[in-house]
Amino acid sequence: MVYNGENEIEKTIQSIVNQSYRKIEYIIVDGASKDKTMEIVKRYETQIDKCISESDKNLYDAMNKGITLATGDYIWFMNSGDEIWNYKTVEKIFSRNVTADVFYGETMLVDETGKELGTRSNLSTHKLPKALTWKKMNKGMVVQHQSFIVRRAIVEQYDMQYRWAADIDWVIRCLKAAKEVHNVENILSRFLTNRVLGKFYSGGSSTKYLYTSLRERFVIFTRHYGLISNIFSHISICFNALLTAIRPSK
């Protein structure tokens, strides 16, 4: 997924086309970029299976287009500026397990210069679970979608009624549908972030619209976990945040 990504798109492309695993269907969905993004994409056109460039409603609309175009066994989203961890990552995943419905792993956060800032688990209160289930998502986005690979047969479209938090609803629904979820126990991706990192880092475009995102998440969590459970989860999150805030520094 890309829009006006001339400064970041090439490293994303290279991280995919240079994979040692060759059975990759590579699809680029561009939101009608007005910069040189498509000029860069055309340099790699022989290594890209499908590419569309047209206006979309938002990121989730673009991701739905990608789902519709995909014909491979698994779907893995990378936004412009993000990268697969290294050139053997995909090969290692599928040399060990070809039966899982979901593969997931850790994410390395990087700044615009490419400097590694640390893994998402180390920089966030949302730690990556050893065993990920849909019930583990009840307190937040514990896995980055750049490190979340799903069998296409169980994938549904992103729910467009959610403008900023459709990603967490989508991940929950994928996990509900999955019979086997496999932790690769390794870093799967580099995630480009130019946002302030801290205790309440959430990632994604939703950080720009925090309050709207939080309202949407409350609706999503109530839908999946029930109102009472959702209220208690939020009380627990607020209580833990308060304890962290008042704990004296060492």
pLDDT digit string, tens, across residues 103-131: 999 999 998 888 999 998 888 777 899 99
How far apart are alpha carbons 112 and 11 in whole angstroms?
A: 12
Q: What is the DSSP code (8-state) at residue 129? A: P
Name the E strands within the chain.
Answer: 27-30, 50-53, 74-75, 83-84, 102-110, 116-119, 148-151, 181-192
Q: Sign (positive/negative) of CA torsion 113, 114, 120, 122?
A: negative
Question: Which H or E run contains 60?
Answer: helix 59-69
Q: What is the DSSP code (8-state) at residue 34? A: S
How far apart are alpha carbons 205 and 168 in whole angstroms?
A: 12
Domain locations in the chain as residue ranges = 9-246
The yes-or-no verdict on residue 9 having pLDDT over 60 is: yes
Phi, psi of 164 (to 5 degrees): -120, -15
How far apart are alpha carbons 217 and 223 in whole angstroms?
A: 10
Q: pLDDT at position 210, please?
A: 73
pLDDT mean over 38-59: 96
Locate 56 and state its tokens. Answer: 């979309």
The yes-or-no verdict on residue 205 having pLDDT over 60 is: no
Locate 48 and state its tokens. Answer: 């890209």
The yes-or-no verdict on residue 132 having pLDDT over 90 is: yes
Q: What is the DSSP code (8-state) at residue 187? A: E
How far apart are alpha carbons 200 and 203 in whole angstroms?
A: 9
The yes-or-no verdict on residue 199 having pLDDT over 50 is: no
Q: Which CATH code, of 3.30.1460.30, 3.10.20.30, 1.10.10.60, 3.90.550.10, is assigned to 9-246?
A: 3.90.550.10
Q: Left if phi > 0, otherwise alpha if psi is -120 to 50, otherwise beta: which for 230?
A: alpha
Average pLDDT, the chain: 88
Distance of CA 79 to the CA centre of its chain: 8
Nearest to 53 by CA among 4, 112, 115: 4
How far apart are alpha carbons 187 and 92 in whole angstroms?
A: 12
Q: pLDDT at position 197, please?
A: 34
